[in-house]
């Protein structure tokens, strides 16, 4: 496909792509995937930053103030805050997102090219497409890349930079790698430390095979020592003071609340779904397939290339697999609390990326075969990255077809074609019956595209689509048209009539460069910011994340926003229990949560006005956010409705009710 797009099919003389192409790809990504800010994880991380910039904001918020004792996000928030003082918060976040994207793309492109001996630049771009498309197999629930700024993605970008540097040239790259991993430890201490440990294991493995890896023990020891020193500042900055996080709670209670209640989807492998596991295995299968040599009949043997970079990459993948196996034992067998809270399965995200770096060369090789079966398979693989069942089944098909290819003349072309069609028919039928994400539709669309592209001629008959300066400018303008329009839409004043038009609202929702509310919770919170006193404190349903950020008001509890140390976790748990009216021990609460989180949280919506008023008073609040369709006794009820926005409304607790409590 890269040849069709005009990317030269010659061996790459530069491993990293041109900056202009990377900016073009950024525009395409923003157009296709959008850009999200001020929601998701940012919704409960940015209030901590805003309090640091202005201590009067969230001065009494229990979640925000819990980070006074222990804040592992100090490095990232400090970086964003420093830029925000100069550029403003939206521009700082958008700028760091763009920088994270650029570092990720250039580093992964370089890594993919290095993973394929004699690779062309097209292999690097195939790797970038696979990386940006990958949503399948996210065991640990962390994606390889997302359309918003996250500290773990910033750390992972630096991890790709470090990995590419040492895989390409360990003798020179160890200094760059140490610097990049030191930066990763600053923006995300857990991810930075884990990446440093994995690469330390890789250096050791390389030194065991000095001939094939071109690495000596002297170089390995020097690199490991430099990396260890580089990550110390980040660990000290984020993790100090180095106290016992579990102090204040019994060990089993701490484990229950931290591991099984706070973030079980990140920590406990037995909670991950079967298709996630199968898709994760599919990544490894594609990496193995990419290592199987294939030479089409009648073509000369390829010249010999240095395969040391690929060998080094394979050994890193081996270290990752050993890490994940040890993590399974520590988390599921030994039930070690410290190891579980460390979230060691974050490394699975890094491992999936290594597999895609290896697989990218295989995808390009399939495309360059020129026959319809090869091009169909080359299109199916990146399309399959978007869903678990889809990726698992397509990876299985690719394994079977690669084994048939390796059989050579023993499996003729007609046999291979018939087998491929049969497997695709079975895959479509299976997905139609099992995949809730409707992967059979993506399969059909990708198959149709692959067949259509297979008629593109090869050689001199191929239409010339090579880049010219004019074509490049036109492509860049087209790629950036929608993001630019979204940026302009976000600059329209909120009071202007155009700001409420469907076009403007859809553009802002697609690429939110400016802080404009896009859903009912955010609009209600924005109203509260303008129409309630700064001293107001709110209680509300446990689920919605964004009210605290958009209202700039104290929010007594939110399930997604939770501290890390025992005292803060216990306070968070007690507030959670109070918000859903649960009376029972922590073990029973955790069981109810795991059996049905939405049913548990719905208990808040079932509370009467009296119960909500009592909850607000117990939580030190004077305002309540609840469903807008609940009946309210206007004359004598304890709540006064102030404003409605969609399915939610904000209520004020009557002053006489508050006065009774104060007396």
What is the spatial distance between Cα 278 and Cα 463, in angstroms, rounded to a whole number?
A: 40
Helices (H), 271-412: 274-290, 308-328, 337-341, 347-368, 372-384, 388-406
CA dihedral 151, 153, 159, 163 (to 10 degrees): 180
Domain of residue 525: give its range: 520-662
CB 388 within 8 A of CB 137: yes
Buried b (16+ CB within 10 A) or exposed e, 434-445: ebebebbebbee
Distance, in Å, from the CA atom of 372 to the CA atom of 384, rounded to the nearest integer, reads: 18
Q: How much is the pLDDT for 208?
A: 96
pLDDT tens string 6-54: 444 444 445 668 888 999 999 999 999 999 999 988 998 999 999 999 9
Q: What whole-number distance in Å separates Cα of residue 111 and Cα of residue 162?
A: 10
Whether 537 maps to a domain, the answer reads yes
Give percent of the chain above pLDDT 90: 69
Domain membership of residue 582 (yes or no) is yes
Give the residue-averaged pLDDT of 253-275: 87
* Torsion of Cα atoms, 562 then 568 then 569 then 575, to 10°: -80
- Residues 292-327 pLDDT 10s: 875 544 444 444 457 899 999 999 999 999 999 999
Cβ neighbours, 10 Å, residue 542: 19
Position with higher pLDDT, 435 vs 242: 435
pLDDT at 293: 72
pLDDT at residue 342 is higher than 50: yes
pLDDT of res. 263: 80
Query: Does 1 score more than 90 pLDDT?
Result: no
Residue 580's pLDDT is: 94
DSSP bridge pairs for 653: 639
**Is 51 a member of any domain?**
no
pLDDT band at 5 (very low <50, low <70, confident <90, very high): very low
Contact 291, 355 (CB under 8 A): no
- Given a contact cutoff of 8 angstroms between Cβ atoms, the answer to whether 294 and 404 are in contact is no
Angle 92-93-95 from CA coordinates, rounded to 5°: 65
Per-residue confidence (pLDDT) for residue 294, from 0 to 100: 56
Mean pLDDT of 469-484: 92
Cα 497 from Cα 482, distance rounded (Å): 21
Q: 510-569: per-residue pLDDT in tens?
A: 999 999 999 999 999 999 999 999 999 999 999 888 999 999 999 999 988 888 888 999
pLDDT tens track for 63-108: 999 999 889 999 999 999 999 999 999 999 999 999 999 999 999 9
Residue 142 is encoded by which pair of tokens? 């962390």
Over the stretch 212-261, which tens digit does the pLDDT of each residue have? 999 999 999 999 999 999 999 999 999 887 677 788 888 888 888 888 88
pLDDT at 3: 44
Instruction: Tell me the pTM.
Output: 0.92
- Helix H or strand E encompassing 623: strand 623-627
What confidence score (pLDDT) does residue 12 get? 45
DSSP-derived letter for residue 653 is E
Count of structural domains within the chain: 1
Q: Give the per-residue pLDDT at 4.
A: 37
At residue 460 the predicted structure's pLDDT band, cuts being 50, 70 and 90, is low
Helix/strand/coil (H, E, C) string of 511-574? ECCCCCCCCHHHHHHHHHHHHCCCCCEEECCCCCCCHHHHHCCEECCCCCCCCCCHHHHHHHHH
Pairing relationship of beta strands 554-555 and 537-539 according to DSSP bridges: parallel
Query: What would the two tokens of residue 39 be?
Result: 């929601």
Q: What is the pLDDT of residues 156-209, one digit of tens each?
A: 999 999 999 999 999 999 999 999 999 999 999 999 999 999 999 999 999 999
Mean pLDDT of the chain: 89
Q: Quick check: 190 and 239 in contact, CB under 8 A?
A: no
Domain contains 617:
yes
Residues 6+ apart with CB under 8 A from 310: 114, 115, 116, 117, 358
CB burial class (10 A; 0-12, 13-18, 19+) of residue 616? buried
- The CA-to-CA distance between both ends of the chain, in Å, stands at 76
Burial of residue 419, with CB atoms counted within 10 A of its CB: 0-12 exposed, 13-18 middle, 19 or more buried:
middle
Q: Which of 475, 127, 64 is nearest to 290 (CA)?
A: 127
DSSP 8-state symbol, 553: S
In-domain check, residue 190 = no
pLDDT at 118: 81
When pLDDT is averaged across residues 124-141 and rounded to a whole number, the result is: 92
The tokens for 658 are 């508050």
| Residues 532 and 623: beta-carbon distance below 8 Å | yes
Backbone φ and ψ of 492, nearest 5°: -70, 125
Per-residue pLDDT reduced to its tens digit, 385-398: 999 999 999 999 99
Residue 548 belongs to some domain of the structure: yes
The more confident residue out of 262 and 516 is 516
Does residue 412 form part of some domain? no
Residue 3, domain member (yes or no): no
pLDDT at 122 over 80: yes
Give SS3 for 390. Answer: helix
Between CA 66 and CA 278 the distance in angstroms is 39
């Amino acid at each position: 496909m890269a040849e069709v797009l005009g990317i030269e099919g010659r061996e790459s003389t530069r491993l990293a792509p041109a900056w202009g192409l990377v900016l073009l790809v950024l525009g395409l990504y923003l157009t296709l995937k959008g850009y999200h800010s001020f929601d998701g994880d940012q919704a409960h991380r940015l209030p901590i930053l805003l309090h640091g910039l202005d201590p009067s904001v969230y001065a009494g918020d229990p979640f925000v103030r819990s980070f006074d004792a222990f804040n592992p996000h100090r490095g990232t928030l400090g970086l964003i805050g420093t830029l925000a003082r100069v550029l403003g918060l939206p521009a700082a976040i958008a700028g760091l997102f763009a920088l994270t994207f650029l570092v990720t793309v250039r580093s992964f492109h370089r890594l993919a090219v290095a993973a394929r001996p004699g690779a062309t630049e097209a292999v690097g771009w195939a790797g970038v497409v696979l990386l940006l498309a990958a949503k399948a197999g996210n065991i640990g629930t962390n994606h390889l890349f997302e359309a918003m700024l996250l500290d773990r993605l910033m750390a992972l970008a630096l991890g790709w930079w470090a990995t590419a540097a040492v895989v390409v040239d360990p003798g020179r790259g160890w200094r760059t790698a140490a610097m990049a991993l030191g930066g990763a430890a600053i923006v995300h201490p857990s991810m930075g430390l884990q990446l440093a440990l994995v690469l330390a294991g890789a250096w050791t493995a390389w030194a065991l095979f000095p001939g094939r890896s071109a690495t000596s023990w002297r170089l390995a020891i020097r690199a490991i020592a430099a990396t260890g020193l580089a990550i110390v500042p980040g660990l000290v900055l984020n993790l100090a003071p180095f106290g016992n996080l579990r102090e204040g709670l019994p060990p089993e209670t701490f484990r229950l609340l931290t591991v099984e209640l706070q973030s079980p989807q990140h920590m406990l492998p037995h909670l991950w779904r079967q298709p996630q596991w199968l898709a994760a295995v599919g990544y490894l299968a594609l990496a193995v397939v990419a290592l199987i040599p294939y030479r089409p009949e009648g073509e000369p043997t390829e010249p010999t290339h240095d395969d040391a970079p690929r060998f080094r990459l394979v050994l890193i993948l081996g270290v990752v697999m050993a890490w994940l196996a040890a993590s399974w034992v520590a988390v599921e067998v030994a039930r070690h609390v410290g190891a579980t809270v460390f979230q060691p399965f974050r490394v699975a995200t890094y491992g999936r990326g290594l597999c895609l770096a290896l697989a990218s060369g295989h995808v390009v090789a399939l495309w360059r075969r020129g026959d319809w079966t090869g091009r169909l398979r080359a299109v199916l693989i990146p399309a399959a990255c978007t869903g678990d069942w889809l990726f698992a089944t397509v990876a299985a098909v690719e394994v079977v077809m690669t084994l048939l290819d390796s059989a050579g003349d023993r499996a003729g072309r007609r046999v291979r074609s018939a087998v491929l069609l049969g497997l695709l028919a079975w895959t479509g039928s299976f997905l139609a019956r099992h995949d809730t994400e409707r992967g059979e539709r993506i399969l059909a669309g990708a198959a149709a595209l692959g067949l259509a592209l297979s008629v593109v001629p090869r050689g001199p008959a191929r239409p010339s689509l090579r880049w010219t300066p004019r074509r490049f400018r036109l492509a860049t303008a087209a790629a950036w048209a929608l993001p630019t329009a979204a940026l302009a839409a976000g600059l329209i004043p909120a009071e202007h009539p155009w700001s409420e038009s469907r076009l403007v609202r859809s553009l802002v929702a697609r690429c939110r460069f400016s802080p404009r509310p896009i859903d009912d919770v955010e609009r209600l919170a924005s109203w509260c910011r303008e129409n309630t006193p700064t001293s107001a404190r709110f209680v509300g349903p446990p689920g919605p994340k964004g009210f605290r950020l958009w209202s700039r008001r104290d929010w007594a509890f939110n399930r997604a926003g939770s501290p890390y140390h025992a005292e803060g976790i216990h306070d968070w748990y007690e507030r959670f229990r109070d918000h859903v009216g649960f009376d029972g021990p922590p073990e029973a609460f955790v069981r109810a949560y795991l059996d049905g989180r939405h049913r548990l949280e719905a208990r808040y919506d079932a509370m009467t006005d009296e119960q909500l008023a009592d909850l607000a008073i117990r939580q030190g609040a004077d305002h309540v956010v609840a469903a807008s369709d609940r009946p309210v006794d206007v004359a004598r009820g304890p709540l006064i409705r102030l404003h409605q926005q969609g399915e939610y409304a904000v209520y004020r607790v009557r002053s006489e009710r508050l006065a009774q409590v104060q007396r």
